Amino acid sequence: MKKFITLLLTLLPLLVYANVSFPKSMSLNGVWKYHVQQQPEAVDYYYDFKGSKKSMNLPANWYKAGINHGGIVWFNRTFSMSELPASSHHFLEFHGVDYLCDVWVNDKFVGSHKGYFQKFDFDITPYLNNGENKITVKVNSPLENYPEHYSLHKTLLRGIFSHHDTRPGGAWSAEGQDKNSGGIWNDVFIKSYDAHKIKKLKITPEVTESKRVIDIAFNVDELRKRFSRYNQTQMSVTVTPSNFEGKSYKESFTLDNSSENQQFKMELPNAKLWQTHDRGFPYLYTVSISMGQTEITQQIGLKSFIQNEKKQYILNGTSLYLKGTNYISSQYMSEMDREALKADLQLMKDAHINTIRVHAHVEPERFYKLCDEMGFLVWQDYNLQWGYLESEAFTKEAVRQAIEMVDQFYNHPSIFMWSMHNEPPWNSDWMKWKYPDYNASQNKVLDEALYTTIKAYDTHHLTKKLSSNLEHPWFGWYSGKYQDFAKVSKVAVVSEYGAQALPNIESLRKILPKKHLLPQGDKAKKAWEYHNFQFNWNEKNGIKFTGDLKQYIKDSQTYQADLIKFATEMLRIQKYKHTTGIFQFMFNEGWPSMNWGIVDYYRQTKPGYDALKKAYAPVIVVAKRISEKKIELYVVNDSVEDINGANLLVKIKRDNVTKELSTPANIKADSARLVGVITLKGAAQLELTLQHNGAVVTENNYNFEMKELKE
């Protein structure tokens, strides 16, 4: 009888939760009290919220809630224990706090965290009361010391959120840290667990022509050690289609109870492969892992992705030319909900973009989920932008947070590469003109540590040490003229090119006060510069204000569109010979400004967007002037189908006279080809039309002027 009672007591918790699946989630999003700390306080200072009346709806970057503050803000809210499952372990989980935070539950300190993008949690079970409970969070979003650390010797791993030429104030002024992005900017939950907590789940697809396998690895925390060995040695894995009708898979495995690290392989015969939207369908599966009353799910996609010795990218055994853009959704991540991000991605999809470089920062998890679902590849930068402190401690912290980035986003099929540093000082000799204390070897040790660590830690994705200045040929903006893009590319992947352009007049009126709308006088020009406009480089490239604002806008937008059209076409006709991927800079403006976006902050497109859309079309025809009299004619085909029996119709218009030529223009799938050379004397308009089976495939036009012949 005694043994029966003992067994019953052992089984009781399992019977209670027989129909309950863990973990359970309770959202803490909503109204929190807050207090802005204006003065420095002692290390052990703790703000008491008694009588406090100010409140903020979280999640939010506090600037978007009306607080322009760099430093400390305290947050507080209560909840009832009755809202949580009984006899469970409870973890307070944050999905994003910028940048430092300390957490108390019922006035007892439970932990700290550093970094703006990570998910993190604390076991708060020992600190809970039976009735009402309170949570207090101290968030510190500090400024870099100016000018000691800002902007060549930064100490915070915040990428573009603390230093960039597209953020408030720009990159080179004392105002460059204005409008701080601090806050509890992403979701907050209490997660309740039963016997186990599964961590660091990594699902790695192994894909060949004949094999579909997933390698499942994770860690297990035993939370109720007294019961964890009972009926907990079996794990069930179910793999079901997420976004299509298809075959499901199920298998059971025996856990290794001698270790918290678990690893299993599971075969998925004939499983469908994830593709980019321009190559097929992004097939996704949901993996469900069950142990007793614990069940977790993870959405995955099966793909193989490599870069071969010719620097070509190979997706599922087939070459893919990367047509990309650089992306910073916002300076304030809380304002980019799923619908806002989806709208941006749809604009990209409409423009035939298949790859996104997340530029020197990390986006919210919801962005990567949408990329998985919509079929975009993602080049993921780590949040290092230009120069940082040289110290062993900083390097150690940077490596720690880089590993956290890999752990958090590893399972997204959209991600294909980690890039560790954007234009580090040791690769940026232009910095010697900006910084008197420039050191040509600065951050080399840091970047080597990051590269070697992440490359060894994650052998599934590609790892890149840096996005180098050689990959950023800013012809037509910071150097030369945009016609220089006609030269042979020095790199296989051009990861930045573009020009600034003003938004339309309606958007500009929202950005600037009426008194500063015209760029006349020092105060007005300073306001424009604060919003990222570069007068010097605009004027250098022929965009000058002559008194007519609408004409200024037109000239600015036309120049950006012309540069994007020319550069993109010239780089694309070098497909697989000299280039394997290109990334226009920048897709949108992340705050009310006027910089390199082809879409403004209010999501109004500029002519540059239409230029990129046309130049990124699956099939294009291109005319390239190679001398005063000769024009080369190209066809670029990104589709997976050969185009046979096609003709290129050429119309040359000059002095109201039209001359027509026609040449065969057959082209193989996924290739670029020179299809003809024509002679053109003097100025003329050129119209190109590719016809196939009586239908127009694509068109293009050019206006070759006399001045071009004299250059």
pLDDT, tens digit, 9 for 90 and up, residues 347-394: 999 999 999 999 999 999 999 999 999 999 999 999 999 999 999 999
Give the confidence band of 4 by pLDDT, cuts at 50, 70, 90. Answer: very low
**Helices assigned H by DSSP within 573-655:** 607-615
* Contact assessment for residue 106 and residue 127, using Cβ atoms and an 8 Å cutoff: yes
Predicted structure pTM score = 0.95
* Contact assessment for residue 374 and residue 355, using Cβ atoms and an 8 Å cutoff: no
Q: What is the mean pLDDT of residues 158-167?
A: 96
CA angle 207, 572, 274 (to 5 degrees): 20
The least confident of 55-59, 198-202, 652-656, 684-688 is 652-656
Average pLDDT of every residue of the chain: 94
Confidence at residue 708, expressed as pLDDT on a 0 to 100 scale = 45
Where do the structural domains in the chain lie, given as residue ranges?
A: 20-192, 196-306, 313-615, 619-710
pLDDT at 59 over 70: yes
> Which residues does 707 contact at the CB level (< 8 Å), separation at least 6?
none
Confidence at residue 225, expressed as pLDDT on a 0 to 100 scale = 62
CATH of 196-306 given 3.40.718.10, 2.60.40.10, 3.40.50.300, 3.40.920.10: 2.60.40.10
Confidence at residue 226, expressed as pLDDT on a 0 to 100 scale = 43
Query: Residue 370 in 3-state DSSP?
Result: helix
Task: Please give the DSSP secondary-structure letter assigned to residue 470.
Answer: G
What are the two backbone dihedrals, phi and then psi, of residue 468, each rounded to the nearest 5 degrees?
Answer: -90, 160
Confidence at residue 502, expressed as pLDDT on a 0 to 100 scale = 98
CA angle 134, 140, 143 (to 5 degrees): 170
> Looking at beta carbons, which pairs linking 541-549 to residues 24 or more positions away fall under 8 Å?
541/476, 541/477, 541/481, 541/499, 545/518, 545/519, 545/520, 549/505, 549/508, 549/517, 549/518
> Residue 277 corresponds to which amino acid?
H
Four-residue CA torsion sign, 419, 423, 428, 432: negative
* Length of the chain in terms of residues written: 711
Confidence at residue 10, expressed as pLDDT on a 0 to 100 scale = 41
CATH of 20-192 given 3.40.30.10, 3.30.70.1350, 2.30.30.60, 2.60.120.260: 2.60.120.260
At 427-446, the pLDDT tens digits run 999 999 999 999 999 999 99
Confidence at residue 707, expressed as pLDDT on a 0 to 100 scale = 54
Confidence at residue 260, expressed as pLDDT on a 0 to 100 scale = 81
Confidence at residue 5, expressed as pLDDT on a 0 to 100 scale = 44
Confidence at residue 298, expressed as pLDDT on a 0 to 100 scale = 98
Give the confidence band of 46 by pLDDT, cuts at 50, 70, 90. Answer: very high
At 494-508, the pLDDT tens digits run 999 999 999 999 999
pLDDT at 190 over 80: yes
Q: In terms of Cα–Cα distance, which of 516, 498, 603 is closest to 165? A: 498
The residue with tokens 């020179």 is 674
Rounded to 10 degrees, the C-alpha dihedral 520/524/525/526 comes to: 160
- Which strands, in side-by-side order, build the sheet including 188-193? 24-27, 188-193, 89-94, 120-123
- What span, in angstroms and rounded, lies between the C-alpha atoms of 139 and 473? 40
- Cβ burial 211-239 (10 Å sphere, 16+ → b, else e): ebbbebebebeebbeebbeeebeebebbb
At 391-409, the pLDDT tens digits run 999 999 999 999 999 999 9
The residue with tokens 């965009």 is 543
> Which residues does 157 contact at the CB level (< 8 Å), separation at least 6?
115, 116, 383, 384, 397, 398, 401
Q: What is the mean pLDDT of residues 184-211?
A: 95
Whether domain 619-710 has CATH 1.10.274.10: no
pLDDT at 15 over 50: no
Give the confidence band of 706 by pLDDT, cuts at 50, 70, 90. Answer: low
pLDDT at 3 over 80: no
pLDDT at 577 over 70: yes
CATH of 313-615 given 3.30.70.100, 3.30.465.10, 3.20.20.80, 3.40.50.880: 3.20.20.80
The least confident of 615-624, 625-634, 689-698, 702-711 is 702-711
Q: Do domains 313-615 and 619-710 have the same CATH topology?
A: no
